[in-house]
Amino acid sequence: MSSTLFRTSPALRGALRASGAPKVAGAMAGIGFVRGKATLPDLPYDYGALEPHISGKIMELHHSKHHQTYVNGLNSAVQTIKEAESKGDFTKAATVAPLLNFHGGGHINHTLFWENLAPASREGGGDPSGALQKAIVADFGSVDSFRKQMDAALAGIQGSGWAWLVKDKTAGNLNIVTRANQDPVSGPYVPLLGIDAWEHAYYLQYQNRKAEYFEAIWNVINWKTVESRFEKP
């Protein structure tokens, strides 16, 4: 048994099969979409603002190159699917579904990630408060224990992927889940806090010492964002 246990079948792929492609883009409206086109969101802080925990160079490449590539890939996948669909070529539309899932997931995940971070001199770091703090203690024992379990989940990812603190809408409790590559969190889970475990997220600064990155990132976690996602009904 492994982290693959937690890899659910991507929602976007299912959505494509169920309802046709253009509606998938509609379902992602609100996350960096302008007039049906995905757009790169601005960062709410400067590239260098997370130093020394995440270098300015990593942030700049990660946002302006990697995230931009997902945005471009998503728009091109949506376009290809629209064209195929208008011609009634559903086979072609289906073959593009994995690209839609990958780039769409990459766009969603990174958009959520940037909002989860903040400079250590501002909202970054510290501990959660209020109802979120109580829920974390109830489900993980303590905030420290939660951080340890999240770091263990991150370290256990074999390849590229993400670890998430999620709220289970059905059961009402908190969970840690991992996702391979750019598979987005879906189903009963509401993503509260995501950490990018792709090598591009840390390699220029931490190289193979990824455990140091997983430890350092807690200094720039924006708990206010996590709290507001948690409290949203």
**Rule CB under 8 A: is residue 140 a binding residue for other proteins?**
yes
CA distance 219 to 175: 21
196 marked among binding-site residues:
yes
In this chain, which of 26, 36, 159, 188 binds other proteins, going by CB under 8 A? 159
Amino acid at 179: R
Burial profile 85-116: b = 16 or more Cβ within 10 angstroms, e = fewer: eeeeeeeebeebbebbbbbbbbbbbbbbbbbb
CA distance 44 to 49: 10
Give least dist CB 125 to Fe ion, A: 21
**Rule CB under 8 A: is residue 169 a binding residue for other proteins?**
no
Q: How many residues bind other proteins (CB under 8 A)?
A: 41
β-bridge partners, 178: 163
Draw the binding track, 106-135, toward other proteins (x: CB under 8 A; -: no contact).
------------------------------
CA angle at 139 for the pair 160 and 222, rounded to the nearest 5°: 55
103 marked among binding-site residues:
no
In this chain, which of 115, 151, 183, 196 binds Fe ion, going by CB under 5 A? 196
Residues that bind other proteins (CB under 8 A): 1-4, 6, 61, 65-66, 69, 98, 102, 139-140, 149, 151-153, 155-156, 158-161, 173-177, 180-182, 198-200, 203-204, 207-211
